[in-house]
Amino acid sequence: MIGRAALFAAAALLCAACGTGDDTAPSAGMRSKHLVYTKAVGKPREAVWIGDVNGRRMTRLTLGRFGLVSPDGRTIAISRRGGIYTVDPNGRGERFIAWAKPAGWLPDSRHLLAFQRRAFVNIDLDDRSVDVIEGREVTTWTISPDGATLAYDVYLARPSSGECGFDIYSAQIDGTSKRRLTTGGRSSHPVWGTDSIGFAYRPVGTGCFKPRIWQMGPEGGQRAPVMRTLPIRFAILGRYGVRPFAWVSGSPLLLATIPTEWGAELALVNARSGRARVADLDPRPRREQPMYVDHASHDGRHAVGAACGAEGPCTIRIYSVATGRARELTSGNARYPHWNR
C-alpha cells in the first residue's frame, strides 16, 4: 500500500534489470490495457472511472466501487451493494454475476475469484457456477506462474496459544488438491515468484504485529528468512513490519507494504541480500500522510496506489521501480486503483 519517505537514489541500483517507459501498446494476447479507480459522485454514491494505464482519457464507467480489470482488458468487475457486476470497458453489457465481493481475476479472464460470505470462491462467468476453494476466511492470495495453483492465507478463528492466527495453504484453481504449506499460525501474505513463494512471517518471540519477509518453495519446504531483523525505519512507532505483495520480474526484488497507523507505505526488499528501502509514492514531505498501495503491474516494475492529504482528497500515483520516482495520474478525490498493466 504506500510510501512516505524519500526513496534512495540507489533504488535504481537495486534493480538494474528493471525496465522503464510507458505501457500503452497492447501486448500479444491482450486486447487493451486500462486503469480504473473509484471517485465519489455525491454521498453516498461512488462511481468507477476508466482510462489507459497511464491515467489519460479517464471517463466515468458506471456506479460502484472496487473495479477490477480482467487480464485481457475486455471486462471490468465492479462491486456494488454487496454484489458483483461485470461491464465492458465502454460501459455497455452490464450483467449481475453473484452476491459476493470480487477478489481478482484468473489469467484466462473467464474466471473471477471472490469472497462469498466467509468462503473464497472461483466463479465461472460463462455459466456463473461456483467452485469453493476455501470455506474459511481468506485475506490474501497469489497464483502460480503457470496459472494452475493458488496459494492463500487462512484466518484461524481460534488460534492456539503462541499463534498469530494465519497460515498459508495451496489448492488448484477449482479447489482440489488442497494442502497446508505452513504451520504455527504465524504466516500470511503469500506472493508467488518464479520458483519460490515470498510471505510475511512473525518469528516466535517477536509478537504478531511486526512481520518480516521470508520465502519458501512451492510445496512449503526450504523456508528461510529474507529479512532476519526489521530495519529501524520499518519498526518505529506507528509502523507494523513489512508484507510482500509482488515480485519484480527479472530481479530478486519484492514490492512490499509497511502497514502504518495512517495507511501503508511502499517498500523495496532485495530477496538475496535482505536489504530494504522505503519508496516514495508522494515526494512532497507530509507528516503521517495517509497512503495506500498494493497493486503492481504484471511484471512488478510499477506500483499504483493512492496518496491522500491529511484531510484532503486522494490522488492516484504510479511508482516506477527503475527510476525510483512516482508521478500523479489523477486529480480530485480518487482511490481504489486497479489495472491490467
Instruction: Supply angle C-alpha 149, 151, 156, rounded to 5.
Output: 140
Determine the Cα–Cα distance for residues 219 and 205; give it in Å rounded to an integer. 26
Question: How is residue 217 written as a grid cell?
Answer: 518453495
Question: How is residue 67 written as a grid cell?
Answer: 473495479
**Structural domain spans, the chain:** 1-18+248-341
267 contacts: CB under 8 Å, gap ≥ 6? 3, 234, 242, 255, 256, 257, 258, 276, 277, 278, 279
Closest to 250 in 3D by CA, of 297, 214, 212, 295:
297
44 contacts: CB under 8 Å, gap ≥ 6? none
- How many Cα atoms sit within 13 Å of 244 on the Cβ side? 35
Determine the Cα–Cα distance for residues 298 and 152; give it in Å rounded to an integer. 18
Determine the Cα–Cα distance for residues 38 and 24; give it in Å rounded to an integer. 21
Structure confidence at residue 6 (pLDDT): 30
Structure confidence at residue 22 (pLDDT): 41
Structure confidence at residue 325 (pLDDT): 84
Amino acid (one-letter) located at 245: F
Alpha helical stretches, state H, the chain:
11-14, 232-235
CB-neighbour burial class of residue 146 (10 A; exposed 0-12, middle 13-18, buried 19+): exposed
Determine contact, residues 123/98, Cβ cutoff 8 Å.
yes
Structure confidence at residue 311 (pLDDT): 64
SS3 14: helix
Q: Which residues are bridge partners to 48 per DSSP?
A: 38, 62
Determine the Cα–Cα distance for residues 143 and 155; give it in Å rounded to an integer. 19
Determine the Cα–Cα distance for residues 214 and 271; give it in Å rounded to an integer. 9
CB count in 10 Å sphere of residue 148: 13
**129 Cα distance to chain centroid:** 26
Q: Which residues are bridge partners to 95 per DSSP?
A: 86
Instruction: Supply angle C-alpha 260, 263, 266, rounded to 5.
Output: 80
Amino acid (one-letter) located at 324: G
Can you give the three-state secondary structure of 222-248, one letter per residue? CCEECCCCCCHHHHCCCECCCEEEEEC
N- to C-terminal Cα separation, the chain: 17
Closest to 265 in 3D by CA, of 234, 220, 286:
234
Average pLDDT per 10 consecutive residues for the chain, totaling 341 residues: 31 31 41 86 83 85 93 95 95 96 95 95 96 94 94 85 87 95 94 94 84 93 88 72 90 88 83 85 55 80 80 80 83 83 80
Output b/e per residue, 42-52; b: 16+ Cβ within 10 A: eeeebbbbbbb
Structure confidence at residue 190 (pLDDT): 97
Overall residue count recorded for the chain in this entry: 341
Determine the Cα–Cα distance for residues 97 and 122; give it in Å rounded to an integer. 12
